[in-house]
Amino acid sequence: MSSSFPSTPPRSTSKSSRKLTVPDSPMLMEAPITPPRKKKQEFLCELWCALTNKCGNMVNKSVTFAELSGFLRDKTEIYLFMNIKKKKKLVLELVCRYWMVLQSFVKNTRLEKSDLKSETRDARVILSSLMINSFPQEVLDTRTDSMNPVSENCYQKAQEVVTEIFQYYPNNEEKIFRLQCVDKVKIIEDFMKAFKAWQIQDCKEVMGSLKVYYEEWLRSKLVISQSSMNEAQRTTILETMDKSLKETKIKMSKLIGSEEANVVCKEIEANVERTEQESKIIRENSNNNNNNNDNNNNDNNNNDNNNNNDKTYRELSTSEKLRAYGIPSKLRTGRLNSQNNNTDFPCDQEKVENNNTIGQEEKHNDQDFVKKQWINLDTIIQEEGNKKYWKDFEVEIVEGKFHRLFELLNELLTRIKAIAPNSSHDLLDDIIDVSFIHHTIEHGTLGICVCTLLFCFYATQFYSIFNAIWDILKSLHAPAKDKQWIEWHDKIVQDMNATDATWSKLLPAIFNQFLIKLDEIEESIQQCQSFLKQNSKFRHNTNKN
């Protein structure tokens, strides 16, 4: 009996036949089930919550600078964009995705896949608000109590970003609405503008320092190239300086570009060469005039010295008398053997006049004798005390004893910080780190050889300390003193690179001049303060009348 149903076709094993096979069951024709796509608000809420959980805790608790820096390089678990799976990503990428979704939600633009390259720079700036908020001194290189307007504005905007972004926790997407996000975007953009303004200012300050370093290296190179030393040593020194000049130029190129850096360096080179030529002409003319006038003025000077010494000495203050002999009056480490040698003892003229009855001429001679005896005694004490102090310092260096050196460094640090701006105190502590210098000297890394005490040019650490202190004092004294101060600097650099240079000769001369310069600056400040005080009293009395 034949069946009314068609026979079943044979099963085919070929790929082509399988492709043509139509499934009988209509259930197989249904589309696969896919999860619903998330809305922007959901993505933004998830990213915002992850950002707050991860970064907000670091703001609330006290962390060190190193811990916060390591945290910003850490990885956190976040949702990949348009993906259900969770993967480990950097905190920077978390901020990138948050910033991208936030802008898209505010501007109502299409949210597409992106490699986040364009948002990476903005994300780094946003993350920097955490560092600025927690460590303004380290990041902005200033103190909170003495910020300039640009740094202060950047610090305030960073605080707003931390408060409104990293410490704000949305419970669900319903609490995220567009007007609220518009304010958040404005806060971030305002911080970016403030940060950019600070970067520009900081770049100018860094460029100014690099220009000064480049000019000083050039000037030192000219001095050394003209010095009388053996050819091998001069070649080694010049190669080291050329290397430093090249490194400084590379740093300039990173800030302003190679072309602009070349222009700046050429201008500095031309200025240094012109200044050197002018100084050379002035020195030659001065030497010629001095040689011509010395012979003519010797007799007159010898006759006038005896008459002028008394009056001049009487008009000078105690600190001026001490400084005239190279003794800084405010030095706490001690210069003289006696503690009462800086007291003035004026002559008692009435007693001399009452006791002398032999005539007016004899009384006058007696007074001169008494005055000369007192002046000579004071001079002898000061000179001998000064010579003894620096001679002892020289002997101690030869013997490998450096406690007096550390005392002088401590005094330099204390006195400079007393007159320098507060913003430079951290730099001063780094430059004059007495404990570090003590360690380097004891281990021979500063270039001091206790046996021979020959100064070798590999003592770049000491040159850096000398140059930094010299530059700070240059910024504190009157501009009229710059020329003389620069000439002394060049002379010391030349002495450092002489073939017969020794630490025992160089250090006393350098520290003595530093302390004398400090005395000059401190007395100028005192005179200015006294003038302002008197002027203020005069105005007060005038207004009162």
pLDDT at 275 over 60: yes
Name the band, by pLDDT with cuts 50, 70 and 90, for residue 174: low
Residue 216 placed within a domain: no
User: Best-predicted range by mean pLDDT among 322-331, 359-368, 520-529?
Assistant: 520-529
Tell me whether residue 541 is in a domain.
yes
Asked if 302 and 282 touch (Cβ cutoff 8 Å), the reply is no
Greatest Cα pair distance in the chain: 179
Looking at residue 451, its pLDDT comes to 36
The count of other CB atoms within 10 Å of the CB of residue 219 is 17
**What are the DSSP E strand ranges found in 74-119?**
75-79, 86-90
**What is the sign, positive or negative, of the torsion defined by CA atoms of 119, 123, 126, 128?**
negative
Q: How far is 268 from 102, CA to CA, in rounded Å?
A: 48
pLDDT of residue 215: 87
Residue 461 has pLDDT above 70, yes or no: no
What domain range is 77 assigned to? 40-207
Average the pLDDT over each of 146-155, 299-308, 310-319, 522-531 and give the range with the smallest value: 310-319
Decide which of 163, 181, 207 is a domain's last residue: 207
What pLDDT shows up at residue 114?
A: 59
Task: Specify the 3-state DSSP secondary structure of 86.
Answer: strand
Residue 279 — pLDDT band, cuts 50, 70, 90? confident
In a domain, residue 282? The reply is no
pLDDT of residue 300: 54
Residue at 374 is within a domain: no
Taking the C-alpha atoms of residue 119 and residue 77, their distance in angstroms, rounded to an integer, is 19
pLDDT score of 371: 43
What average pLDDT does the segment 231-255 reach? 85
DSSP at 342 = T
Element spanning 232, H or E: helix 231-256
Q: Does the structure show a pLDDT above 80 at 241?
A: yes
Task: Read off the amino acid at residue 482.
Answer: D
Question: In terms of pLDDT, which residue wins out, 202 or 444?
Answer: 202
In a domain, 227, yes or no: no
Report yes or no on 237 lying in a domain: no
pLDDT bracket for residue 89 (50, 70, 90): low
- Of 207, 226, 241, which marks where a domain is finished? 207
Q: Is residue 82 over pLDDT 60? A: no
3-state helix, strand, coil in the chain (%, to 5): 75, 0, 25
What is the SS3 assignment for 358?
coil
Q: Look at residue 332 and tell me whether its pLDDT is greater than 50.
A: no
Q: What is the pLDDT of residues 477-513, one digit of tens each?
A: 888 888 899 899 888 888 877 777 777 888 888 988 9
On whether residue 170 sits in a domain, the answer given is: yes
The pTM assigned to this predicted structure is 0.45
Worst-scoring range by mean pLDDT, 57-61, 348-352, 519-523? Answer: 348-352
State the Cα–Cα distance between residues 468 and 116, nearest whole angstrom: 44
Q: What is the mean pLDDT of residues 418-422?
A: 84
Query: 274 or 440, which is more confident?
Result: 274
Residue 46 has pLDDT above 50, yes or no: yes
Q: What is the pLDDT of residue 67?
A: 76
Q: 78 falls in which pLDDT band (50, 70, 90)?
A: very low
Percent above pLDDT 70 for the chain: 60
Categorize the per-residue pLDDT at 545 as very low, low, confident or very high, splitting at 50, 70 and 90: low
- Note whether residue 355 is domain-resident: no
pLDDT of res. 168: 75
Q: What per-residue confidence (pLDDT) applies to 302?
A: 53
Residue 373 has pLDDT above 60, yes or no: no
pLDDT of residue 304: 53
Span of 37-41, 336-340, 356-360, 522-526 with lowest mean pLDDT: 336-340
- Output the average pLDDT for the chain: 70
Residue 41 has pLDDT above 50, yes or no: yes
SS3 421: coil
* Last-in-domain residue among 157, 187, 207: 207
In the chain, how many domains are there?
Answer: 2
Residue 410 burial (CB count, 10 A): 14
